[in-house]
Each structure stands twice: as structure tokens, then as C-alpha cells.
């Protein structure tokens, strides 16, 4: 149970605090298939333990009710009785207690020494993990020591079913297996479909030194396994638990959990730990961003990468990453635009296989997107604002505000920009990876169907412009607006890329184009219309001010100075009220500025700057997604004081809970945005089809910013200092790297190059 001493790799919680729900989110362990909150094994009055299996949703009655990710049994929970008294921090005195999340090895440790009212001291040490090497395997190891008394110990663990799951009628029969310490269970949904396999195998070691009695008790919706152990004073008792858990897709049930768990027990815990650590070592080599000179940011970036890696699964293209990943109940496990815009870039740059799986999920849900478009009266694909397992729209119809007010939720109907966001993610993945097979088999069809939707969602009006009315943009403080700039700019981008892809397919992969053209009933006139509509898209751009009006009529809204509300402990929409804030110019989050970032190369520098300076002071950051994009843009534009302020705000969203809602799970989009702020903002990285571009702008107190990068089958390592930039490339071919205000580099494989900053730019690259 050793862990790294370097505090930059550790998240430590000393003692026990009332913010337990928040701590449980931060200390969650996961592997993209399963996630478990970092709850105390014995629980407490403040605990909310939960295990989630990616893609397993409960669809409640009546029809139209919002599905939610099912809470699976708390496999890591246990009660311990010492000489007849329950081991509890409420009884006696806590001599020592801490939880330690080892980010480097993705293992949650716990150290606890407790004195009971009679002065008997018990030491409790544990670890748990969700294996990254074997995504069906969960592990727990507990060491119990009676320091100053003879031990009579009872360990009780249970499998309890939460609402949404049912035990099968024949589950008793299924529990009768040859190996007595295996407890298999098929967990079913109310309609009888198998949801998941679940098998728990427990051991008490060393058996030869203790007298051990095992008992299994069956109760309604609960199965209890207990061990009674007698041990001498000072003896250490080890309890191990191996759990096999996996989703059963489309009720295709083929029992495998028993064999899998039995094999894990037979192999032992050491090989499983070793394989898990090895897999994490490889992922860190491809993902660890180093910031020399900023320890809080260093820990925040590792925390971000840890939870992103823990959330993605390259082996599963039928589920995606939810807004709070697999760490909490917030948003019921639903998938938003957060995945493609905020999380996907991390995987594109560090683990393209996971990025591809996330995008294939959108292909598997394409039928639902087509159905949604059809029901709304449009052709093509209209993706759900909130998506679950099927891709159907699952946005709730009503939301309750912090003031208890019931508000209708219109995002599922009006926040349509997600369709273009998904197309954008596909294009970025293809540009950075050159994965033609994905484009041909999955991506092109989505982009074409998305463009078809946009060609029908708006209308060409008397002013000669194409207007998209009745929408909600990223700024959700303003609903049912016309010509939201972000939505229209992204729709125009989507229309142009679709026409480009159609031309590319026709000229390069004519057979595939012929198949798609026939399948989708595409005509040459329809495709040729797309860039025409993009050219006359109403974007609200003013050539004199260089500003995009966020939506039609935005500039005439009541002007509010946000500084008058500082410091504030509540969001502006709570302070002013839902109706009032809609009448103001207050922006919830990056809206026009998000378009500036995503369409960076399509906009002149003076346009980027003008819009940033205008919208930055008007943005209230009512979403966790906002600070990171402002930090990124400020860094690119050289506004370094603002960049530092927003970067700190972004890194504290979970670690300091500055949004006040980390109890519902970590903010997966926000931590993806933090990574982008560092790599795409301060390093100025851009991934193009032919080149990698760097435009560094470090904070004054940073000594170095370094990170690995995967681009088109090349492994790069980039290290940036204020006065020098170093690039090491590995691969089979040379790679072109562009440095802002400096020369281009054609880097040969397995060589390192350095460029030195001069007063008017960067010097020629020198091989190092």
C-alpha cells in the first residue's frame, strides 16, 4: 500500500468533514466502464455512495419521464464489528484518518486508526481501484489490525439493489456455484431486460493464522456476506474483494462474470495491481502536462487528466462521457455538447482510440437524431441536447430553480447548436488523426445529415440573409432568440464542411460517395445549396465595430455592470431572477467568444480581439464551462492578467468547489476545458491537417510548460520556456511544425530541435 511521496500526484483529505458528498466526487475511481464514488467503506450520515456502469439507464414510467443512470450496488461498502462493537468514527476517538487519491496509479487509499470507548485501538487501511487494464474488474484490499487487544472481528458486506434494478426470480439458483466465495448476480431492469452482470468474490487472508467462519444471508433486494474472524493481539487480517461487472447490451446476456471473477481470484491481487499501474503509466506518458512554477495548477491539471482518463473507454462505442462522468448523480448521467467541445480534444491529442469511440457513439445514436428532426419537421439529423443510451431527447421538461420556482426547459427544442458541435468534433478528429476509415464509415454521414438539418432549420428571408430563429445559444440566460451568432456561425461552418466532404468523397472515394448519395438521396443541387446558404448566413457581424451581435436585439438589452455584484456568492440569474436576467446584456458563459475560439483561423486578429474585449466584462460565468475558454482566449490574445485570473478560476471549480455543486460529480467539461486552456491557450497549440502550430504565451512565474502530443501517428513532446522552445518528434516521417512569428520546422523522427526567442520573433530551429 505504498504511494508516491510527491504531493503533486496526491489528493489528500485529512479528517472527516461535512462536505462528504463533494469529497466522494473528487475521490471517485473509474475506468470508463464503471465508476465508484470515494465513499467511506462503512458509510456515514453524510455519505452518498454510488457505483455507475456506463450506458445503463433506467427509463421510468410514464413514457416521457427522464431516464437516469442507474445506481449499482456499493461493492466497496462494509461494516466492521470489533469484539461486538461496530467500528465507527462516532464511537470513541479518531486517532488518525485520511483518504489519499494517488493520481499517478489511480488508486484510492485510506488510513484510519480508531480508539473505542474502552481504549482498544484498531487500525484500518484500504485501497480500491477500477482496473484500467481489465475494465470489468474492480478491486478492494483492506487490512485490519488490533493493536492492543485480541481480535474478534466480523466483516459484513452486502449487495443492495437501488431503485431501477431488480433481482431475477431464479437468482438463488444462480448463486449456487462451485466456489463458495463467489456471489454472482444478474441485475435486471423492471421490464425484465438484463442490465449487467455482477459477481463478487471475497477472501480473508492469511487463512492459516485465523479462525474464519463465512455466512451468506438472503434478504429481499439484499444479499449479505459476512466473515467472523478470531485473531491474536497485534495480528493483521487482510480482506480482499474482486468484483466483475459489465453492461449487457441489448439484453444479449451471456454469463461470464463467474469465470472472470474466479480467474481474478486465482491470479491474485498483485498481477492485477501491476497491470493496472502499467496501463496508467502508459496513459500518463501520453497525457501528463507539466507546469514548472505553479504547483496548484500542476495538481489541477493532473486531477483533470485523471478524471478524463477514468471516464473514457476506447472499448465501448455505445456509451459516451456524461457531464459529470461516472462520479455523481447530477444531470442523471446525460451527455451534452460538453463531450465533443470540451472533452474530445484531450482524447484526440492523447488517446485517439478513445476519441473515436466517443464519436462512434454519436453514429450509433444517429437514427434517434434523424427521428427527432423528422418529428420537428426537418430533414437530416437533429441531435438531442441531452442524450442517454438511445440518443433520444431526454432533456427534462421542467427545472426547479434554487428559489423553488418551476421553470419550463426549452433546451431540448431550441439549443440546437449541438448538431454542429458534433460535426465540428468529427472534423477536428479527422484532421488531427487522418483516420480515413472513420470518416468514410461514420463521420461523413453525420456531417452530411447535420448539414441537411441546417439547410432546413432556417429560412432565406426578404433581406437576402439566411435566418435561424427561435434558438438558445450557449448563453442560456437568453431563451428563444433569433440568429444567435454562435449557432449561426457553427451552422454555416457545418454547411461548408459538408459540401467540402461531398466533393472530397466524390473525387477520392467515389464508391463510398455513390453509396452515401444513394442511401441519403442526396442531389447535386442540394449539396451545392449548402455553401450558398452559409455565405448569406445572418451572423450579426458589424464591419465597423468588428463585433458579432450575440443575437438579434442583444445590443438593445439593459446594460448591467457586473462589477456592482462583486463579490457574490450566488449566480446572477439567482440574484436577479430568471425573467429579469433575460432582459439584460449579462451573458451566462462564452457564446460569441466560444465561436471566436472554435473558428479562430477563419477570423481576422482584430475581430478576435474586439469581441473578446467587448464580451469578457459582460460574462457572468454562470456555467463551469466558461472560465477555461476565457483563460484560453486571454492567453492567445496576450491579456495575461485576465488569463491568469480565469485560469485560477477554472482550476478551482472542483478542487475548491467554487461553483458550489461538486457534490453532484466532477465537472468533466470544465476539466477538459482546463486542459485546453493550458495546451491550446498558453502553448497556443493548433492541430491542422498538414501542420502543428504553436504560439506560446506563458505566465511570468512559469518556468516551463511541457506536454506530450499525438498527431497523425506521430508522438511529439513539446517543452516551452520563456526564451526557448524544444520539440522532440517520433514517428516514421518528418513532421512540419509552425511557430508563430518564427520559422517552420520539418522535424525528423527521433530528433530534438530548439528555437530561441528573439526580440522580433523566434530564431531558426537548431538540432539539439
Beta-carbon contacts of residue 95 (< 8 Å; ≥ 6 apart): 113, 114, 115, 121
DSSP 51-68: EEETT-EE--SSTTPPPE
Beta bridge mates, 286: none
Does position 217 have pLDDT exceeding 90, yes or no? no
Tell me how far CA of residue 600 lies from CA of 370, 636, 734, in angstroms: 30, 10, 26
User: 360 falls in which pLDDT band (50, 70, 90)?
Assistant: very high
Q: What would the mean pLDDT of 485-498 be, rounded to a whole number?
A: 98
Joined grid coordinates for residue 684: 497556443
User: 178 falls in which pLDDT band (50, 70, 90)?
Assistant: very low
Q: How far apart are CA 62 and CA 85, in angstroms?
A: 46
Q: Per residue in 569-584, pLDDT tens? A: 788 988 998 899 999 9
Would you list the domain boundaries of the chain? 10-283, 704-767
Report pLDDT for 173. Answer: 34
* CA geometry: angle 293, 296, 302, nearest 5 deg: 100
User: 179 falls in which pLDDT band (50, 70, 90)?
Assistant: very low
Helix axes of 485-508 and 524-535: crossing angle, nearest 10 degrees:
140
User: 61 falls in which pLDDT band (50, 70, 90)?
Assistant: confident
Report pLDDT for 321. Answer: 98
Does position 532 have pLDDT exceeding 60, yes or no? yes
- Return the number of other C-beta atoms located less than 10 Å from residue 602's C-beta: 13
Q: How far apart are CA 115 and CA 514, in angstroms?
A: 75
User: 482 falls in which pLDDT band (50, 70, 90)?
Assistant: very high
Q: How far apart are CA 92 and CA 220, in angstroms?
A: 33
3-state helix, strand, coil in the chain (%, to 5): 35, 25, 35
Q: What would the mean pLDDT of 722-751 be, rounded to a whole number?
A: 90
Q: Where are the alpha helices (DSSP H) in 312-417?
A: 338, 344-350, 352-364, 366-376, 411-414
List phi, psi (to 5°) of 273: -60, -45
Q: How many CA atoms, within 13 angstroms, populate the side-chain half-sphere of residue 378?
A: 22
Which has more confidence, 367 or 168? 367
Q: Where are the alpha helices (DSSP H) in 523-665?
A: 524-535, 572-576, 578-582, 592-598, 605-615, 626-637, 640-655
User: 207 falls in which pLDDT band (50, 70, 90)?
Assistant: low
Residue with cell 437533429: 382
User: 175 falls in which pLDDT band (50, 70, 90)?
Assistant: very low
Give burial (CB, 10 Å; 0-12/13-18/19+) of 605: exposed
Which has more confidence, 228 or 550? 550
Report pLDDT for 180. Answer: 55
Report pLDDT for 768. Answer: 85
User: 241 falls in which pLDDT band (50, 70, 90)?
Assistant: very high
User: 171 falls in which pLDDT band (50, 70, 90)?
Assistant: low
Q: Per residue in 292-303, pLDDT tens? A: 999 999 999 999
Does position 172 have pLDDT exceeding 90, yes or no? no
Does position 174 have pLDDT exceeding 80, yes or no? no
Does position 79 have pLDDT exceeding 90, yes or no? yes
Tell me how far CA of residue 44 lies from CA of 72, 129, 410, 464, 606, in angstroms: 18, 21, 38, 64, 56
Which positions are catalytic? 476
Superfamily of domain covering 10-283: Glycoside hydrolase, family 65, N-terminal domain (2.70.98.40)
Amino acid at each position: 500500500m505504498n504511494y508516491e511521496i510527491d504531493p503533486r500526484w496526491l489528493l489528500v483529505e485529512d479528517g472527516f468533514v461535512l462536505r462528504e458528498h463533494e469529497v466522494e466526487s473528487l475521490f471517485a475511481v473509474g475506468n470508463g466502464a464503471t465508476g465508484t464514488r470515494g465513499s467511506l467503506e462503512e458509510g456515514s450520515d453524510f455519505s452518498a455512495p454510488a457505483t455507475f456502469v456506463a450506458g445503463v439507464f433506467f427509463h421510468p414510467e410514464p413514457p416521457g419521464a427522464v431516464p437516469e443512470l442507474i445506481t449499482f450496488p456499493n461493492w466497496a461498502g462494509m461494516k466492521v464489528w470489533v469484539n461486538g462493537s461496530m467500528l465507527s468514527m462516532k464511537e470513541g476517538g479518531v486517532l488518525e484518518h485520511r483518504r489519499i487519491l494517488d493520481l499517478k496509479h489511480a488508486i484510492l487509499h485510506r488510513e484510519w486508526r480508531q480508539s473505542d470507548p474502552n481504549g482498544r485501538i484498531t487500525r484500518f487501511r484500504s485501497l480500491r481501484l477500477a482496473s484500467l487494464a481489465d475494465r470489468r474488474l474492480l478491486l478492494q484490499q483492506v487490512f485490519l489490525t488490533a493493536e492492543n487487544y485480541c481480535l474478534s472481528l466480523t466483516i459484513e458486506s452486502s449487495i443492495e439493489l437501488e431503485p431501477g434494478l431488480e433481482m431475477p426470480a431464479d437468482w438463488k439458483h444462480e448463486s449456487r456455484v462451485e466456489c463458495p466465495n463467489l456471489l454472482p448476480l444478474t441485475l435486471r431492469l423492471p421490464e425484465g431486460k438484463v442490465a449487467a452482470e455482477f459477481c463478487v468474490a471475497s477472501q480473508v487472508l492469511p487463512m492459516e493464522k485465523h479462525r474464519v467462519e463465512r455466512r451468506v444471508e438472503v434478504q429481499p433486494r439484499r444479499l449479505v456476506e459476512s466473515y467472523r474472524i478470531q485473531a491474536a493481539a497485534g495480528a493483521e487480517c487482510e480482506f480482499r474483494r474482486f468484483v466483475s461487472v459489465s453492461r449487457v447490451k441489448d439484453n444479449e446476456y451471456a454469463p461470464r462474470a463467474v469465470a472472470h471473477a474466479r480467474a481474478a481470484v486465482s491470479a491474485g491481487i498483485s498481477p492485477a495491481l501491476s497491470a493496472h499501474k502499467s496501463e496508467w503509466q502508459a496513459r500518463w506518458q501520453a497525457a501528463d502536462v507539466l507546469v514548472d512554477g505553479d504547483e496548484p495548477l500542476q495538481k489541477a491539471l493532473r486531477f483533470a487528466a485523471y478524471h478524463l482518463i477514468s471516464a473514457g473507454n476506447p472499448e465501448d462505442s455505445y456509451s459516451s462521457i456524461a457531464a459529470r462522468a461516472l462520479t455523481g448523480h447530477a444531470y442523471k448521467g446525460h451527455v451534452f455538447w460538453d463531450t465533443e467541445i470540451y472533452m474530445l480534444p484531450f482524447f484526440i491529442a492523447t488517446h485517439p482510440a478513445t476519441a473515436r469511440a466517443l464519436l462512434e457513439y454519436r453514429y450509433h445514436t444517429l437514427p434517434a437524431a434523424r427521428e427527432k428532426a423528422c418529428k420537428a419537421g426537418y430533414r437530416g439529423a437533429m441531435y438531442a441536447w441531452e442524450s442517454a443510451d438511445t440518443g433520444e431527447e431526454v432533456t427534462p421538461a421542467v427545472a426547479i430553480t434554487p428559489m423553488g420556482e418551476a421553470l419550463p426547459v426549452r433546451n431540448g427544442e431550441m439549443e440546437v447548436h449541438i448538431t454542429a458541435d458534433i460535426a465540428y468534433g468529427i472534423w477536428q478528429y479527422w484532421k488531427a488523426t487522418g483516420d480515413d476509415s472513420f470518416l468514410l464509415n461514420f463521420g461523413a454521414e453525420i456531417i452530411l445529415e447535420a448539414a441537411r438539418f441546417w439547410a432546413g432549420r432556417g429560412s432565406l428571408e426578404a433581406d437576402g440573409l439566411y435566418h435561424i430563429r427561435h434558438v438558445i445559444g450557449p448563453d442560456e440566460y437568453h431563451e428563444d432568440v433569433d440568429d444567435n451568432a454562435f449557432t449561426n456561425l457553427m451552422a454555416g461552418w457545418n454547411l461548408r464542411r459538408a459540401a467540402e466532404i461531398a466533393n472530397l468523397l466524390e473525387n477520392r472515394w467515389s464508391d463510398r460517395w455513390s453509396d452515401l448519395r444513394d442511401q441519403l438521396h442526396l442531389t447535386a443541387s442540394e449539396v451545392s445549396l449548402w455553401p450558398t446558404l452559409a455565405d448569406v448566413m445572418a451572423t450579426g457581424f458589424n464591419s465597423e465595430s468588428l463585433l458579432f451581435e450575440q443575437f438579434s436585439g442583444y445590443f438593445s438589452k439593459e446594460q448591467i455592470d457586473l462589477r456592482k455584484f462583486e463579490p457574490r456568492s450566488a449566480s446572477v440569474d439567482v440574484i436577479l431572477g430568471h425573467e429579469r436576467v433575460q432582459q439584460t446584456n449579462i451573458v451566462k458563459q462564452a457564446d460569441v467568444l466560444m465561436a471566436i475560439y472554435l473558428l479562430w483561423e477563419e477570423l481576422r486578429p482584430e475581430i478576435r480581439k474586439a469581441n473578446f474585449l467587448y464580451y469578457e466584462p459582460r460574462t457572468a460565468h454562470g456555467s463551469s464551462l466558461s472560465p477555461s475558454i476565457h483563460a484560453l482566449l486571454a492567453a492567445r490574445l496576450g491579456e495575461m492578467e485576465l488569463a491568469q485570473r480565469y485560469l485560477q478560476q477554472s482550476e478551482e471549480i472542483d478542487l475548491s468547489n467554487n461553483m458550489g455543486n461538486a457534490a453532484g460529480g466532477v465537472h468533466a467539461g470544465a476539466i477538459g476545458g482546463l486542459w485546453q486552456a493550458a495546451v491550446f491557450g498558453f502553448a497556443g497549440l493548433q492541430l491542422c491537417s498538414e501542420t502543428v502550430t504553436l504560439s506560446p504565451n506563458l505566465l511570468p512565474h512559469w518556468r516551463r510548460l511541457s506536454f506530450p502530443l499525438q498527431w497523425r501517428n506521430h508522438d511529439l513532446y513539446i517543452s516551452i520556456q520563456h526564451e526557448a522552445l524544444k520539440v522532440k518528434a517520433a514517428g516514421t516521417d518528418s513532421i512540419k511544425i509552425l511557430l508563430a512569428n518564427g520559422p517552420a520546422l520539418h522535424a525528423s523522427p527521433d530528433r530534438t530541435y530548439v528555437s530561441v526567442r528573439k526580440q522580433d520573433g523566434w530564431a531558426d530551429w537548431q538540432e539539439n
